[in-house]
Structure 1
Amino acid sequence: MAQREKVHSLRFNQDHGCFICCMDNGVRIYNVEPLAEELHLKESLAGSVAHGEMLHRTNLLAIVGGGAVPKYADNTVLIYDDRTSRFVLEFTFSAPVLSVRLRKDRLVVVCCRQIHVFSFPHSPRRLFTCETRDNPLGLCEVSPLPSADRHILCFPAHKVGAVQLVDLLTTESTVSQAPLTVQAHKSELACLSVNREGTLLATASHKGTLIRVWDTARRVLLAELRRGSDPATLYCINFSGDSEFLCCSSDKGTIHIFALKDTKLNRRSTFSRMGFLGGYMESQWALANFTVPPECACVCAFGTSSTVYAICVDGTFHKYVFKADGCCNRESFDVYLDLVADDEF
Structure 2
Amino acid sequence: MGEKVISLKFNEDKSCFNCCLENGLRIYNIEPLVELRRIDSDILGSLSQCETLHRGNLKFLVSGGSRPKFLKNAVIMYNDEIRKVHAEIRLPEDIKVVRLNTDKLFIGTRDCIYVYNNLTLNFLFKFETRDNLRGLLEVTPYTDSSERQLLVFPGRKLGSIQIIDLANTEAGTSSAPVTINAHQGELACIALNMQGTLVATASTKGTLIRVWDTTRRIQLVELRRGSDTATVYCINFSADSDFLCCSSDKGTVHIFALKDTRLNRRSALSNMGILGNYGESQWALATFTVPPECACICAFGPSSSVVAVCLDGTFHKYIFNIEGNCNRQAFDVFLDLCDDEEF
Say yes or no: does 1:130 pair with 2:124. Answer: no
Q: Which amino acid aligns with 2:12?
A: Q
Q: Is the 8 A contact 2:308 2:316 kept in 1?
A: yes
Label 1:271 to 1:261 Cα distance change in 2 as closer, same or farther (>3 A). Answer: same
C-alpha separation between the residues in 2 aligned to 1:72 and 1:176?
A: 31
In structure 2, runs of 5+ residues without a counterpart are none
Q: Which amino acid aligns with 2:48?
A: A
Cα RMSD after superposing both structures = 1.3
Pairs within 5 Å for 1:96-135: 96-121=94-119, 123-135=120-132
Q: TM-score, normalised by structure 1?
A: 0.96
CA drift of 1:125 comes to 1.2
Partner of 2:39: 41
Q: Is the 8 A contact 1:52 1:99 kept in 2?
A: no
- Residue in structure 2 matching 1:242, options 221, 240, 243: 240
Q: Which stretch has the larger CA shift, 77-86 or 236-245?
A: 77-86
Q: Which amino acid aligns with 1:105?
A: D
SS for the counterpart of 1:100 is strand
Q: Is the 8 A contact 1:288 1:326 kept in 2?
A: yes
CA drift of 1:295 comes to 1.0
SS for the counterpart of 1:4 is coil
Partner of 1:86: 84
Q: Is the 8 A contact 2:298 2:306 kept in 1?
A: yes
CA drift of 1:171 comes to 1.9
Partner of 1:143: 140
Q: Is the 8 A contact 1:141 1:153 kept in 2?
A: yes
Partner of 1:286: 284
C-alpha separation between the residues in 2 aligned to 1:205 and 1:57?
A: 32
C-alpha separation between the residues in 2 aligned to 1:149 and 1:304?
A: 22
CA drift of 1:288 comes to 0.1
Deviation beyond 6 Å, 4+ runs, structure 1 = none
Pairs within 5 Å for 1:190-229: 190-229=188-227
Deviation sequence 1:79-127 (CA, Å, 0-9, x none): 2222212221211100000110011111000100000111122x22111
Label 1:177 to 1:295 Cα distance change in 2 as closer, same or farther (>3 A). Answer: same
C-alpha separation between the residues in 2 aligned to 1:6 and 1:268?
A: 40
Label 1:72 to 1:176 Cα distance change in 2 as closer, same or farther (>3 A). Answer: closer
Q: Is the 8 A contact 2:124 2:172 kept in 1?
A: no
C-alpha separation between the residues in 2 aligned to 1:114 and 1:336?
A: 35
In structure 1, runs of 5+ residues without a counterpart are none
Identity %: 56
Deviation sequence 1:27-51 (CA, Å, 0-9, x none): 1100001001111111001100011
Q: Which amino acid aligns with 1:302?
A: F
Q: Which amino acid aligns with 1:135?
A: N
C-alpha separation between the residues in 1 aligned to 2:174 and 2:82?
A: 40
SS for the counterpart of 2:276 is helix
Label 1:119 to 1:343 Cα distance change in 2 as closer, same or farther (>3 A). Answer: closer
C-alpha separation between the residues in 1 aligned to 2:124 and 2:307?
A: 35
Say yes or no: does 1:333 pair with 2:331. Answer: yes
Q: Which stretch has the larger CA shift, 134-143 or 171-180?
A: 171-180
The count of residues paired between Structure 1 and Structure 2 equals: 341
Deviation sequence 1:134-162 (CA, Å, 0-9, x none): 10110000011222521110000110000
C-alpha separation between the residues in 2 aligned to 1:46 and 1:274?
A: 60
Partner of 2:307: 309
Partner of 1:264: 262
Pairs within 5 Å for 1:9-24: 9-24=7-22
Q: Which amino acid aligns with 1:310?
A: A
CA drift of 1:177 comes to 4.2
SS for the counterpart of 1:337 is helix
